[in-house]
Amino acid sequence: MFKKIIKGGQRKHSKSDSTDASLYGSGPNSNAVAAPSRNSDVPMAPPPMATVEPLPLFRDVPVSDRQNLFMRKLQICCFQFDFSDTLKSAREKEIKRQTLLELVDLIQSGSGKIMERCQEEMIKMIGVNIFRCLPPASHENTGQEATDPEEDEGYLEPSWPHLQIVYELLLRYVVSSDTDTKVAKRFIDHSFVLKLLDLFDSEDHREREFLKTILHRIYGKFMVHRPFIRKAVNNIFYRFIYETERHSGIGELLEILGSIINGFALPMKEEHKLFLVRALIPLHKPKPVGVYHQQLSYCIIQFVEKDYKLADTVIRGLLKYWPLTNCQKELLFLGELEEVLEATQSAEFQRCVVPLFRQIARCLNSPHFQVAERALFLWNNEHIVSLIAQNRQAILPIIFEALEKNIRSHWNQAIHGLTVNVKKMFMEMDAELFDDCHRQFEVKEARAQEVEEQREMTWKKLVDAAAHRGEDNMVTV
């Protein structure tokens, strides 16, 4: 990398240039980034270093030598070491670690703005350290499904003692008030951001936490990158949903998006609504949804709270991906459904009331008592009860049969008691409607009984006919 810098032409120093050029811009314009103009002093790259040797501290050298010292320290930080053996190159590793810490302190001190060339080389050094091929995920080696990172410590990056400080340096650079985005965007460009997003697949949760904070800060500071970041995150979600169903950083990306969605202006752009329909709602489909469901649910709720007209779209999306055999996943959906309904207005509720309560009726009769219990708990929410009361004419005929079946035959006593309470609520809401539904249920039961009796009679006739024919065909010897 530094050989290329040396080959890049070196500009001649103008006589009018300051003779005490340092790491920072000097003179009356010291508060501005010292962008290399025609008459400015362009920093020259020092010759490449063959070994890692300790360098003096910035405060121990003259101001005129600090710029060159900064570049030499960046060279030290570009050296890569093998961390599989903790004793190997221990001295060199410690020199690099101390050098990185000194650079972090320098950026964090905010004593001045770093010259543009030095910024460029620092970002290159950061890229050399963090951009790498990630090791295969543990579930790819064993064939097992991805587990919840909170339950499993997972893979820990061996080079984290250095990597952590490099990430800290990048974070301090991005958040520094001295960093001019007009200059920095030339180094932290689309290519850099895309490589940063690729690192979210790291199994090391410590690295993903740093990446989450850094990307969030980049999104907030570099407005020019915002559309690109949203599009790139979209592509990660699409690949996860429709191809791999394996990615370690979906939860962290959704955390960032939760904050981004919270800042969307109203009326909401069509681009954002498409993101909800094409990416967020389909994220309910993959098997490992439980790993990131909390963050996903937060994003979904943010959309509904921003624009209540999206409630119908969200509810129908949940119904589309509703699990059929995974009871734990079904519990997650019921919890999210309750939060969505809390933010739903009456008009949107009416549009989806029929398919919604057909699904709730199926949940009420679930043999898994936690699913049935969670569905019955919806009637503990005052806002949802008020919506149900307004639409009881459509809802009660749909769920009446499910309520009756629970009372008559559900194996769990707690479910039996909760169902009786819900039934009483409907009786108090509208006794006439309740009686009408009860009559219809009895008529339906009677018809079903008649059909069953007819079926049994038909089978009996067939059995008798078969037996009679068997007797006629018997041969006596």
The pLDDT score that the predictor gives to residue 417 is 94
pLDDT at residue 66, rounded to an integer: 81
Task: Report, as an integer, the average pLDDT of 133-149.
Answer: 64
Checking if the pLDDT of 371 tops 80, the result is: yes
| Stronger pLDDT, 30 or 245, i.e. the higher one | 245
15, pLDDT greater than 50: no
Instruction: Tell me, yes or no, whether 384 and 451 share the same domain.
Output: no
Exposure class string for 1-39: b at 16+ Cβ within 10 A, else e: ebeebeeeeeeeeeeeeeeebbbbbbeeeeeebbeeeee
- Is the pLDDT at 13 greater than 70? The verdict is no
96-100, 205-209, 464-468: least confidently modelled range: 464-468
Strand partners, 114: 24
Residues 414 and 326 in one domain: yes
Binned at pLDDT 50, 70 and 90, residue 6 comes out as: very low
User: In this structure, is residue 449 part of a structural domain?
Assistant: yes
Mean pLDDT of 409-436: 94
Share of the chain above pLDDT 70, in %: 84
Assigned domain for 423 exists: yes
For residues 385 and 452, state if they share a domain. no
Q: Both 321 and 417 in a single domain?
A: yes
* DSSP letter (8 states) at residue 223: G
Q: Give the up-direction half-sphere exposure of residue 342: CA atoms within 13 A in the CB hemisphere.
A: 13
The number of distinct structural domains making up the chain is: 2
Q: What is the mean pLDDT of residues 439-466?
A: 91
- Judgement on whether residues 397 and 425 belong to the same structural domain of the protein: yes
Q: What are phi and psi of 253, to 5 degrees?
A: -65, -40
67 has a pLDDT exceeding 90:
no
Split at pLDDT 50, 70, 90, the class of 60 is confident
93 inside domain: no
* Spatial separation of the C-alpha atoms in residues 287 and 276, rounded to whole Å: 19
Q: How confident is the model at residue 36 (pLDDT cuts 50, 70, 90)?
A: very low
Q: Band the pLDDT of 7: cuts 50, 70, 90.
A: very low
Is residue 231 pLDDT above 90, yes or no? yes
Averaged pLDDT, 443-450: 90
DSSP state of 112: S
449 and 420 belong to one structural domain: no
Residue 51 banded pLDDT, cuts 50, 70, 90: confident
112 within some domain: no
The C-alpha atoms of residue 469 and residue 194 are separated, in whole angstroms, by 79
What is the pLDDT at residue 16?
37
Residue 390: C-alpha distances to residues 376, 396, 466 (Å): 18, 11, 57
Q: How many helices (H) and strands (E) does the chain have?
A: 21, 0
Q: Is the pLDDT of residue 471 over 80?
A: no
Q: What is the pLDDT of residues 326-353, one digit of tens each?
A: 999 999 999 999 999 999 999 999 999 9
Do 380 and 423 lie in a common domain? yes
At 112 the pLDDT is 58
137 vs 279, more confident: 279
Q: Residue 177 has what DSSP assignment? A: T
At 85 the pLDDT is: 84
CA distance 236 to 233: 5
**pLDDT at residue 100 greater than cutoff 70:** yes
Predicted pLDDT of residue 306: 93
pLDDT band at 41 (very low <50, low <70, confident <90, very high): very low
> Residue 77 falls within a domain, yes or no?
no
Encode pLDDT of 165-206 as tens digits.
999 999 999 999 889 999 999 999 999 999 999 999 999 999
Q: Which of 135, 151, 18 is nearest to 83 (CA)?
A: 135
Does 330 share its domain with 373? yes
Token representation of residue 256? 């960032």
Which residues have a Cβ under 8 Å from the Cβ of 93 and sit 6 or more positions away? 81, 83, 161, 162
User: Both 422 and 453 in a single domain?
Assistant: no
- pLDDT above 70: residue 12: no
Specify if 369 maps to a domain: yes
Residues 458 and 355 in one domain: no
Whether residue 7 lies inside any domain: the answer is no
CB 212 within 8 A of CB 255: yes
Asked if residue 36 is part of any domain, the answer here is no
Same domain, 331 and 412: yes
CA nearest neighbour of 202 among 126, 253, 161, 168: 253
pLDDT digits (tens, 9 = 90+) for 266-295: 899 999 999 999 999 999 999 999 999 999
As a whole number, the mean pLDDT across the chain is 86
- Identify the pLDDT of residue 473: 67
- Percentage of residues of the chain with pLDDT beyond 90: 70
Q: Please tell me whether residues 406 and 341 are part of one structural domain.
A: yes
d(CA 342, CA 351): 16
pLDDT band for 87, please (50, 70, 90 cuts): confident
444, 398, 442, 403: which is closest to 423 by C-alpha?
403
Which residues form the domain of 336? 314-429
Mean pLDDT computed over 262-268: 91
Residue 33 has pLDDT above 70, yes or no: no
What is the DSSP code string of 429-444? H-HHHHHHHHHHHHHH
User: Does residue 147 surpass a pLDDT of 90?
Assistant: no
